[in-house]
Amino acid sequence: MDHVQHWIDGALSTKESHRVGEIFNPATGVVTGNVAFADEAQVDEAVKVAARAFDEWRHSSLTKRVQVLFAFRELVNTNKEKIAALITSEHGKVLSDAAGEVTRGLEVVEFACGIPHLLKGGFSEEVSTGVDVYSIRQPLGPVAIISPFNFPAMVPMWFFPVAIAAGNTVIVKPSEKDPSAIMFIAKLWKEAGLPDGVFNVVHGDKVAVDALLTHPGIKSISFVGSTPIAKYVYETGTKSGKRVQALGGAKNHMVVLPDADLDLAADAAINAGFGSAGERCMAISALVAVGPIADTLIEKITARMANLKTGDGTKGADMGPLVTKIHRDKVAGYIAAGEAQGATVVVDGRNVEVAGDGFWLGPTLFDNVTSEMSLYQDEIFGPVLSVLRVNTYDEALALVNEHPYGNGTAIFTNDGGAARRFQNEVEVGMVGINVPIPVPMAYYSFGGWKNSLFGDSHAHGTEGVHFFTRGKVVTSRWLDPSHGGINLGFPQNS
């Protein structure tokens, strides 16, 4: 049985932890290992290590930082399949999804390799006689990243490449449900030549999280998770004087207009609704059918669902298990509640038959869902797709804008004018046009509006660089040599 320890100062911690958590293989339901839970003293040790390392790393040249980043990028790319296998073994998503997660994380590494350009400041000469003004950006210090279970590699990689490239040191607190991928990544950082103490990992639960949120040595917090926890992280971290970006939950809509290509829309609904078992903050969970197309669209989605294979992510399945039995049962409870509240169960994932004792729940499709149902109000975070029927574009827009979440949305249409109007009027942070999961490339920033984001900064992109640096403006005057008293070292003829 594997025991996952903390990674502090470039090595596995040798200190015994008094508390541990179990690690499951979701496809078998079997405990495969345990993970150490940090107490306040172990978090304090990691912060002190990161603070010492910061004194050296912040003064390392941009050339050296980029060389380390390029080496790390090559190592991650070379070991992509190994990282994906670790993710699948502890999260349950199919191997292709896990490999795709690593690829998307690498995009941020590649973006961060451009840090010399991204940190360039401005310069204004002669703002007054003999006076120049220029701006620079400097790193914060030790920063903390608290990441969720659903993307154990990609979500931390939204943050730490930019943070490290900018000269900060990092402590990652991964989900205790799937901690092994980030441990493998920590070893790759060391192999890439990153100095010890720049990248650290502490495992644990609320004790470790609270210790990071309140520790005076931590300068910023980056978090991704549910909205209630995101709000807690933001309030606790800012109260402790930290810069905080806390990305919360989502209820992502896919609006399908009557003129849309319904085959394209059905394919998109399958991929965005059931990929990674719906355990994505960008998953489509509410499909809004406008006008007379709902019956035809549901028929097309149902036909495609019949071909989906639920099973072990290492054995050719299209969709794997949910991450834990508790979460599986919670999602099944939403299905029962939707049925009791009057929604029509078109495909019931509770009836899926899969060999083994994994945390199985098949893809589920509801029709005739209304806005007051818990199916629609809550973030289910599972393979449940709800169809809502409306008569007009304005009704569809109102549904999206009135929902408390504002993470991502999509519209399917062949009308450019309708699409342009939607992208302008919708109150959501990320919009897809005939694209169901509009996750931006790394050189743009990721994040939502409303209860999907607490704080002012989105992840990666220019906003990420600004989050992990502080601006400083310098006003300088240097006396001209003609004023006397300055020896430029030239030969003098006396």
Does 246 have pLDDT greater than 60? yes
Q: What is the pLDDT of residue 272?
A: 98
**Angle of helix 206-214 versus helix 40-57 axis, rounded to 10:** 50
pTM across the whole model: 0.95
Does 485 have pLDDT greater than 80? no
SS3 162: helix
* Beta strand spans in 156-219 (E): 169-173, 199-201
Find how far residue 457's CA is from the centre of its chain: 13
Q: Which one is catalytic: 108, 182, 185, 281? A: 281
pLDDT in tens, 427-460: 999 999 999 999 999 999 999 999 999 999 999 9
What is the CATH code of the structural domain delimited by 2-248+452-475?
Answer: 3.40.605.10
Looking at every residue in the chain, the average pLDDT score rounds to 96
Nearest to 224 by CA among 75, 346, 379, 418: 379
SS3 454: strand
The domain covering 252-433 belongs, at the CATH homologous superfamily level, to: Aldehyde Dehydrogenase; Chain A, domain 2 (3.40.309.10)
Rounded to whole angstroms, the Cα distance separating 63 from 453 reads: 34
Percent of the chain with pLDDT over 90: 95
Q: What is the pLDDT of residue 354?
A: 95
Kindly state the average pLDDT of the residues 147-161: 98
Adjacent-strand bridge partners of 138: 470
**pLDDT band at residue 328 using 50, 70 and 90 as cut-offs:** very high
DSSP secondary structure letters along 290-324: EGGGHHHHHHHHHHHHTT--BS-TTTT-SB---S-
pLDDT in tens, 87-136: 999 999 999 999 999 999 999 999 999 999 999 999 999 999 999 999 99
Domain ranges in the chain are 2-248+452-475, 252-433
Kindly state the average pLDDT of the residues 76-95: 98
Is residue 281 among the annotated active site residues? yes
pLDDT in tens, 247-283: 999 999 999 999 999 999 999 999 999 999 999 999 9
Rounded to whole angstroms, the Cα distance separating 234 from 283 reads: 24
Does 229 have pLDDT greater than 70? yes
Does 486 have pLDDT greater than 80? no
Task: Characterize the bridge pairing of strands 430-433 and 408-412.
Answer: parallel
Amino acid at 297: L
In order of 137, 371, 376, 402, the CA distances from 399 in angstroms are 42, 8, 10, 5
**pLDDT band at residue 1 using 50, 70 and 90 as cut-offs:** confident
